[in-house]
C-alpha cells in the first residue's frame, strides 16, 4: 500500500483584515467588534504558522487571499460609479455591508470544504465538496472563489472528484472540515469519520446540518460502516462553540474531547470507539476533558480544542496550541497533562501567537484544512501552491511590502489604500 501524506491547505488574510463582529455566535468575533486590526501582523502570524508546520514535515498548500472589497457584489446590489465612489457611498449608507464585502474570513480554510481520502471512497478517488457557508452573508461570499481555487489546485487530475457546493439553504447548511474528524492508524489506511452537526441551541445558531453531512457521505461514496454522526451539544453552541473544532479534536488514533461536546457524549464516544476498532482491530486513544478541568467558557476563551495535532517523523505527535493556552492556568495544566502522560503520544507542544486571527475567533485548527493524499495524488496537483523555502521568503517580502500595520473600515475610502490593495493582489498571483 502506498504511503499516505497529510497536507494542510492554509490560508492568508487580505489587506482588509478587520474586526467587524460579523459572526453571531462567535464570541471572540463579537467581543472584538470595531477593534483596530493589524493586517500585516495577521498575515505574518499565519505565514509563520505555515512555515513552522512545513519544517515539522507537514506540507503546506498556500490558499491565497481572495479579492476584497468584493465590488461585484456591491454592484450587483445596485451601487454605481467607479470603485472609489462605490466605497464611499457604501461606507456612508451601509457600513456593515462594506464590512461584510471586505472580510478576510476566507483565511479560515477549515471551512473551505469537506474532504474524503481515496482510501475511504468506493471509487478510490479523493472527494472534495466546497462548503456553502450559507449561515452568514460574509462567508457565503467566499464560495465561488474557493471553487475556482480548487480547480486550479486539482489541475484536472484524474485522482480527484470536485463536487459543487450543496444547495444554499438552511436544510443543507455546511461549514466544512471544522465539523469533521477522520481517525485512522496510518494515513493511507481506511479511516473512521466523525461528522458533527448542530441542533437545539437556544441562543446562537447551529451552522452545520445533519442533511448536509448525509449528502456529503453519499456524494463522496464513503465505504460502509466508517461514519459516525454526532449532535453538537446545544449548551456548547450557546457558550460560543460555533464549530466542533472549538470543543474536540483528533489525529490518527487519538481523540481529545470535552465531556459536554455532544448530546450523549458517552454514547457517541463508545460508538466511535467500536467503529474504529471494527475497522482497524486497534483501540482509539480517548482523552476526556472534564468541565472542572476546563469549562466551556474557558475552552472558548483559550481555544485549547482548536489546537492542531500533527504526526511527526518519529510517529509521535506535536500539539500546536494558541499562545493563550500557555497563559491560562487551567489550559496550561491541561497541555502539561497531555505532554507528561506516557499513554498519550504527544511529545512536544508549540504555543503559537495567532492573536490577530484569534480575536476574530480563529485559532490554529481554523487556519487549515486537512488533506490526505497518496504520493501519486500529491504529484498530480499544481505544485506552485506548495510552500517552499523560496515561496515562504517571497510571501514574507510581499506582506512587508504591501500590508498596512493598522486598519479600520474607513481606510477603504482612501484611494491610495485601494490602489495598493489592487497592486498587492496582482503581484501575489505572480508567485503561483
Q: Which three cell numbers stand for residue 168?
A: 444554499
- Burial call 232-257: b when 16+ CB within 10 Å, e when fewer: bbbebbebbbbbbbbbbbbbbbbbbb
Q: State the angle between helix axes of 389-402 and 39-55 in degrees (0 to 180), rounded to the nearest 10.
A: 170
Active site residues: 175, 243, 366
Q: Which three cell numbers stand for residue 63?
A: 490558499
Beta-carbon neighbour count of residue 362 at 10 Å?
A: 31
Whether residue 6 contacts residue 54, with contact meaning beta carbons closer than 8 Å, is answered with: no
Of 197, 338, 357, 313, give the one whose Cα is nearest residue 261.
Answer: 197
Q: Which three cell numbers stand for residue 9?
A: 491547505
Beta-carbon neighbour count of residue 389 at 10 Å?
A: 10
Residues 6 or more apart whose Cβ sits within 8 Å of residue 338: 256, 287, 319, 344, 346, 349
Q: Which three cell numbers stand for residue 389?
A: 523555502
CA distances from 280 to 27, 184, 319 (A): 39, 8, 24
Strands 227-231 and 160-162: unpaired
Listed in order, strand segments (DSSP E) in 55-202 are 60-63, 113-116, 126-130, 160-162, 180-183, 192-197
Amino acid at each position: 500500500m502506498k504511503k499516505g501524506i497529510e497536507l494542510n491547505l492554509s490560508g492568508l488574510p487580505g489587506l482588509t483584515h478587520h474586526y467587524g463582529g460579523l459572526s453571531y455566535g462567535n464570541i471572540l468575533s463579537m467581543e472584538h467588534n470595531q477593534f483596530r486590526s493589524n493586517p500585516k501582523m495577521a498575515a505574518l502570524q499565519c505565514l509563520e504558522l505555515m512555515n513552522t508546520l512545513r519544517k515539522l514535515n507537514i506540507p503546506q498548500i498556500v490558499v491565497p487571499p481572495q479579492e476584497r472589497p468584493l465590488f461585484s457584489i456591491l454592484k450587483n446590489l445596485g451601487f454605481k460609479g467607479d470603485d472609489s465612489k462605490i466605497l464611499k457611498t457604501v461606507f456612508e449608507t451601509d457600513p456593515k455591508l462594506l464590512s461584510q464585502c471586505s472580510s478576510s474570513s476566507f483565511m479560515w480554510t477549515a471551512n473551505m470544504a469537506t474532504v474524503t481520502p481515496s482510501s475511504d471512497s468506493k471509487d478510490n478517488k479523493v472527494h472534495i465538496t466546497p462548503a456553502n457557508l450559507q449561515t452568514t452573508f460574509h462567508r457565503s461570499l467566499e464560495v465561488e472563489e474557493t471553487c475556482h481555487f480548487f480547480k486550479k489546485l486539482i489541475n484536472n487530475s484524474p485522482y480527484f472528484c470536485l463536487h459543487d457546493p450543496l444547495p444554499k439553504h438552511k436544510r443543507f447548511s455546511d461549514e466544512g472540515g471544522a465539523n469533521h474528524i477522520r481517525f485512522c492508524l496510518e494515513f493511507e489506511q481506511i479511516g473512521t469519520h466523525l461528522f458533527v452537526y448542530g441542533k437545539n441551541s437556544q441562543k446562537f445558531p447551529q451552522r452545520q446540518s445533519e442533511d448536509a453531512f448525509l449528502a456529503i457521505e453519499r456524494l463522496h461514496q464513503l465505504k460502509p460502516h466508517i461514519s459516525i454522526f454526532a449532535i453538537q451539544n446545544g449548551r456548547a453552541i450557546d457558550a460560543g462553540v460555533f464549530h466542533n473544532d472549538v470543543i474536540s479534536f483528533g489525529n490518527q488514533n487519538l481523540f481529545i474531547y470535552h465531556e459536554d461536546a455532544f448530546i450523549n457524549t458517552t454514547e457517541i464516544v463508545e460508538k466511535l470507539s467500536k467503529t474504529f476498532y471494527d475497522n482497524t482491530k486497534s483501540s482509539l486513544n480517548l482523552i476526556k476533558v472534564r468541565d472542572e478541568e476546563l469549562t466551556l467558557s474557558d475552552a472558548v476563551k483559550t481555544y485549547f480544542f482548536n489546537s492542531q495535532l500533527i504526526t511527526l517523523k518519529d510517529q509521535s505527535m506535536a500539539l500546536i496550541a494558541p499562545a493563550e493556552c500557555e497563559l491560562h492556568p487551567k489550559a496550561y495544566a491541561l497541555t502539561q497533562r497531555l505532554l507528561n502522560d506516557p499513554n498519550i503520544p504527544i511529545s512536544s507542544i508549540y504555543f503559537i501567537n495567532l492573536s490577530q486571527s484569534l480575536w476574530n475567533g480563529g485559532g490554529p485548527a481554523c487556519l487549515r484544512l486537512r488533506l490526505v493524499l497518496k504520493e501519486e495524488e500529491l504529484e498530480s496537483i499544481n505544485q506552485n501552491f506548495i510552500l517552499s523555502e523560496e515561496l515562504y521568503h517571497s510571501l514574507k517580502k510581499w506582506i512587508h511590502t504591501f500590508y498596512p500595520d493598522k486598519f479600520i473600515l474607513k481606510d477603504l475610502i482612501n484611494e491610495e489604500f485601494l490602489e495598493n490593495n489592487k497592486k498587492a493582489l496582482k503581484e501575489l498571483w505572480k508567485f503561483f
